[in-house]
Amino acid sequence: MCQLLGLNSSVPAGLGPFFDVFAERGGRTDEHKDGWGIAFHSGKRCRLYTDHRAAIDSPLAVRVRRGALRARNILAHIRKATQGRIAIENVHPFARQLWGRTWCFAHNGDLKEFAPAPGRFVPQGDTDSEAAFCLLLSRLAARFPHGEPATSVLRDALAEVAAEIAAHGTFNFILSNGETLFAHCSTHLHYRLDDGRAMIATQPVDTRDGWVAFAAGELKAFGSGALHP
């Protein structure tokens, strides 16, 4: 399946060498070679870079490495296709507008017999991942028609819809609105808190202590580099 890497920070930050380790898994040290993408997300501003080529073969990945881009939230994804064509429209992260914000989403997993009815948000590609993202946002928009609720309320609503979707298979994901980074685990997801930064990864990207495994079915919210209470 795919792999995820996320960062939530109290101040704009970069992934630094962690991106190098992650990108190498995109076709050299691992088999995730069906595309890659990264979103740099701070407040209402989101810069999204995607490529259907493997990260190790992507000139865009080289430019991102050299660019030293920084943000308070970063979502990165390397793809091993299980559903959907190898095409740019199927590369994560995906982005949509809700409540005056950009929301970015990336998924690791495989959802079987998952064909939700069309809602406010409609997929542009043909992956189960984008369909799940659109269902999440459509449900949130319907549940909170007057605007974005408090983070704790939003987290609980997301957990409810995530559990419904996860009944169809593996649903590990990271989701950001530019302020808060939400992470949900079905099978494999880890996080580490370190000096105002929260790192989230499918598998740890270094050998330092402090990585904590999510429990299956757990959804956490991170803000300003810390766990949201």
Active site (catalytic) residues:
2
What pLDDT score does 29 carry?
47
DSSP string, 114-155: --PPP-SS--SS--HHHHHHHHHHHHHHHH-TTS---HHHHH
Pick the residue with more confidence: 196 or 67?
Answer: 196
Residue 28 pLDDT class (50, 70, 90 cuts): low
Tell me the average pLDDT across 2-28: 77
Domain that holds residue 94: 3-228
What pLDDT, in 10s, does the model give residues 113-169?
998 988 999 999 989 999 999 999 999 999 999 999 999 999 999 999 999 999 999
- For the ranges 38-47, 161-170, 193-202, the lowest mean pLDDT is seen at 38-47
Percent of the chain residues topping a pLDDT of 70: 90
pLDDT interval class at 194 (50, 70, 90): very high
pTM comes to: 0.91
Phi, psi of 121 (to 5 degrees): -110, 135
Average pLDDT, the chain: 88
Is 63 buried (19+), middle (13-18) or exposed (0-12) by CB count in 10 A?
A: exposed
Q: What are the pLDDT digits (tens) for 70-117? A: 999 999 988 766 666 777 888 889 999 999 999 999 999 899 999 898
Residue with the larger pLDDT of the pair 36 and 147: 147
Instruction: Name the residue type at position 78.
Output: I
**Residue 118: its pLDDT value, please?**
83
- Which residue shows structure tokens 């960062």? 7
What pLDDT does residue 7 have? 95
Amino acid of residue 211: W
Residue 172: CB atoms within 10 Å:
25
Give the domain CATH number at 90: 3.60.20.10
CB 110 within 8 A of CB 127: no
Number of domains within the chain: 1
- pLDDT bin (cut points 50, 70, 90) of residue 26 is very low
If residue 101 lies in a helix (H) or strand (E), which one and from where to where?
Answer: strand 101-111
